[in-house]
Amino acid sequence: MAEQEVREDLSVEQIEDDDWGDPPVDSTYLIRTIHEVRRKPIGLLTAEDLRIMLGQQVGVDILAPRALARLERNPLLEGDFYPGDVLVSVVRLPESYWRRHPSELVRIKRIIEALRELDDPDAQDEDLEKDIEEFLGRVKG
């Protein structure tokens, strides 16, 4: 699903036409948050919303292109944890996603190149670089 095909006033729940209902009463913060974010219009999603959803592999086909668009503008896009945490959620997506979306793979590789050209100490973070290298190792070929 291409990003431009998705209306920003619709939620992941509406686009997928899959109502999960309310989270169980004893749900964790993460489960409650995912249920809440699935109902939020995608045009209102924050970096943290994208980080959480992609990190849990929820709504990936809808949200990954949106995250890539934001990462193209800022490779160190930050949710609530650290600069680049959204990028980490994206590069940790399964190899199967990238096989199904080769144009998105081209985009993420360009984002990584742009990140490596930044003169920013956060861009040279060891842990971030480790996640990137693991990603590149999984998707090469």
Write the DSSP assignment of 23-90 as a string of letters: PPTT--HHHHHHHHHHTSBGGG--HHHHHHHHHTTSSHHHHHHHHHHHHHH-TT---SSSTTHHHHHH
Q: Which residue has 């980490």 as its token pair?
A: 88
Overall number of domains in the chain: 1
Please enumerate in sequence order all residues whose Cβ is within 8 A of that of 2, keeping only pairs 6 or more positions apart, or say none: 65
Choice among 6-10, 81-85, 104-108 with the minimum mean pLDDT: 6-10
- pLDDT tens digits, 120-141: 998 989 999 999 999 999 998 5
Q: Are 52 and 33 in contact (CB under 8 A)?
A: yes
Range of the domain at 33: 3-139
Can you tell me which residue has the tokens 């686009």?
Answer: 15
Tens digit of each residue's pLDDT (9 = 90 or more) over 18-66: 999 999 999 999 999 999 999 999 999 999 999 999 999 999 999 999 9
